[in-house]
Amino acid sequence: MSLEGRKINFAAGPAKLPEEVLLKMQEEQLNFNGLGVSVIEMSHRSKEFGVLLNETISLIRELMNVPDNFEILFMQGGGTGQFAAIPLNLKGNHDHADYIVTGAWSSKAAEEAEKYIKVKKVFQPSKPYVTVPDQEKWVHDEKAAYLYYCANETVHGIEFTPTAPESHNVPLVADVSSNFMARPFDFKDHGVVFGGAQKNLGAAGLTIVIVRKDLIGKQQAITPAVFSYKEMIANNSLYNTPPTGGIYTTNLVLKWIKSKGGLQAIYELNLQKSGLIYGIIDNSNGFYHCAVDKRYRSIMNVCFRIGGPSGNEDLEAEFLKGAADRNMISLKGHRSVGGIRASLYNAITLEETQVLATWMNEFQKAHSA
């Protein structure tokens, strides 16, 4: 298959997959491993699919250095489904849970959780979301069921770096949907780490949930079986038909990550890519403006305005048209914030990022004159 006609896809998710993965999927689509059927036609109860499933679990454990006291689950419902599943599974005898709200997704998570547990926010969120308040000012409760945070806010471009928040002796719950395997991850103090696969690890439809074993079995009586960590673990993620094609796609992406040198190598490349774009923004004399506190700038989702802090919509529309003419798509910012958003997920190459950087420099030069 020729890759001619492929766009440079800066979408926030579903997002670009590595070309090597897409070509392998095409090669095996009609006949997986000589079985005469496609993966998406195979029974999820078959021995052959079981091998694929267990290999995918092993790859996640290897690449992320997942400790032995954690289980790895393949679920459905997306990250949004976990907004409900987490309080349903972790409430136990606790009255409430603590939430860190730093953007749109952690805000949605807190709102959904309120249906199943009392939610306390460790600080009063303020809009626009541009930073993470100093932890010394947070109000924690060591009686909380857990402390929830979103590791990377896709909409606003805010990322917890370089470390997770302090746990204050309760399990941390991390939504890593948009920086899953973008950098090495420290499981210290964490109870649950979860994310949808459609940004960095594969196709839409698969949700990966990594759960500490001592937290399993505390689900509320109303917890649906498909959202129950206990049920899913007891059935090796096969309580119901899983997204077989999604698991296969993630398997290939994980092998691709491993072939690139693992998470440290991926992380170093991601720093190069994001540094290239942030460097242009910071040296543009205000032509490009990123409002996010530099301490918490996302290396995955670079959000900025053109023409000043509030943005000039005419300039931004012109920039997006020029980008499209240069084969770049999906650079428009989220509808709730506007502006430009370049999502530099693992599959985006340094060369593709350079195409964007070149256009940014050209566009500024043309309008600065």
Cα distance between residue 102 and residue 183, in whole Å: 20
Cα distance between residue 95 and residue 108, in whole Å: 20
Tokens of 131: 């930073």
Strand partners of residue 304: 340
Cα distance between residue 64 and residue 44, in whole Å: 25
User: Which residues, other chains included, contact 133 with Cβ-Cβ below 8 Å and sequence gap of 6+?
Assistant: 123
Query: Among 179, 186, 196, 199, which residue's Cα sits nearest to residue 70?
Result: 186
Instruction: Tell me how far the alpha carbon of residue 41 is from its chain's centroid.
Output: 28
Cα distance between residue 285 and residue 282, in whole Å: 7
| Active site members | 105, 175, 199
Residue 165: cis peptide before it, omega within 30 degrees of 0: no
Residue 302: strand, helix, or coil: strand
